[in-house]
Amino acid sequence: MKITINIFLVIFFFFSCKKEAIQTIVTEERISPQLITQMQPIDQENASYNVSNNVIQGIAAFENGWFTTQTSSTDNGVLLVNYLNAEGRSLFHKRLNIDSHGQDLSLEVISNNELYVYTTIGAFNGNRNTGILRIKVQLTHDRDWTQTMIEVDTTFDLNYSNCTPSLNTAKDKFAIRSKNSILVHNKTAIEAGNFTGLYHFDLNSDQLKDNEQRSMWFQGIAMQDDLVYCLTGNSTQTSHKKIFVYNDKGIVTKKYVFDQDDFNIDIDLKFEPESLYLEGNDLYFLIMTKNPEIEGNLKYLYKIII
């Protein structure tokens, strides 16, 4: 009788595990992004190199517009910040003299007229260690953007390789990419100088290769309700780009995929996704492309409903 019961338990455990394994299989879901607008940041007129021609690497929504960040390997040590209106035209721009890749932006409202904007500190050169950059934005009551003040507030040197941070929508945790890993930290702990993370996991290997088995670059990160959204893609026109969603155990819960056929714009020379920004059920990202007759990157803002 005891042997029979043990055999039954083994069989029950086997089929329970098998059922659980089946439940964790996630198939790729093709998405149909909605075009929001073309983004048109600007740089200062007397600049020796126009950084605004480069890709936009970070976006964050505020009121009826968008903060954007851009950098350049030609003009090292410059972070270009713009605020664009709903139509994508620049109302404000300023260069900050700081070494930042500008990858991903997240925003925290401190008061009606004061904001913190977060991005990465340090350039992406080999295995260079990077951390979090906090930028302070001081607005006027009447939103006279010509009088906006912006400056570097502080930096948090996390000692992570090629890190891209994102403040979650609840504004209490950072999701941080370092190479091919994701690390989640308490915001208050980082502010207090405690850089011990809550948990971490590795990116799923399927997210790091496209449909033709080419390497894909990490392009964006966002976090909401303990779910981390990660964007990968290269600039190849025929390549699929991917957004994977991970839970706090590092298990993939959603796989979104798209290619150039899913977009209603002319795609010439390149097709590269950049940045993620999450607001409610709307997940925003950028597409960079080029036209041989136009200088610089053409920059388009899209969203999907999750």
Contact 182, 175 (CB under 8 A): yes
Report long-range pairs for 62-66 (Cβ below 8 Å, ≥24 apart).
62/107, 62/115, 63/143, 65/91, 66/39, 66/301
Distance CA 101, CA 277 (A): 17
100 closest CA partner among 127, 52, 133, 67 = 133
**Upper half-sphere CA count for residue 194 (Cβ side, 13 Å):** 10
DSSP 235: S
Q: How far is CA 22 from CA 8, 11, 15, 19, 238, in A?
A: 21, 17, 10, 5, 31
Contact 244, 207 (CB under 8 A): yes
95 closest CA partner among 81, 75, 115 = 81
pLDDT for res 25 = 87
Contact 162, 116 (CB under 8 A): no
Q: Is the pLDDT of residue 2 over 60?
A: no
pLDDT digits (tens, 9 = 90+) for 228-250: 999 999 999 999 999 999 999 99
Distance CA 280, CA 293 (A): 38
User: How does residue 128 score in pLDDT terms, banded at 50, 70 and 90?
Assistant: low
Whole-number average pLDDT of the chain: 90
Please report, for the chain, the start and end positions of each structural domain, with discontinuous segments joined by +: 29-305
**What token pair was written down for 133?**
């950059």
pLDDT digits (tens, 9 = 90+) for 132-185: 999 999 999 999 999 999 999 999 999 898 889 999 999 999 999 999 999 999
Contact 230, 182 (CB under 8 A): yes
Q: How many CB atoms lie within 10 A of CB 203?
A: 20
User: How does residue 75 score in pLDDT terms, banded at 50, 70 and 90?
Assistant: low
For 66-75, 175-184, 188-197, 198-207, which range has the lowest pLDDT when averaged over its residues? 66-75
Out of 2.60.120, 3.40.30, 2.60.40, 2.115.10, which CATH number does the structure's domain 29-305 have? Answer: 2.115.10
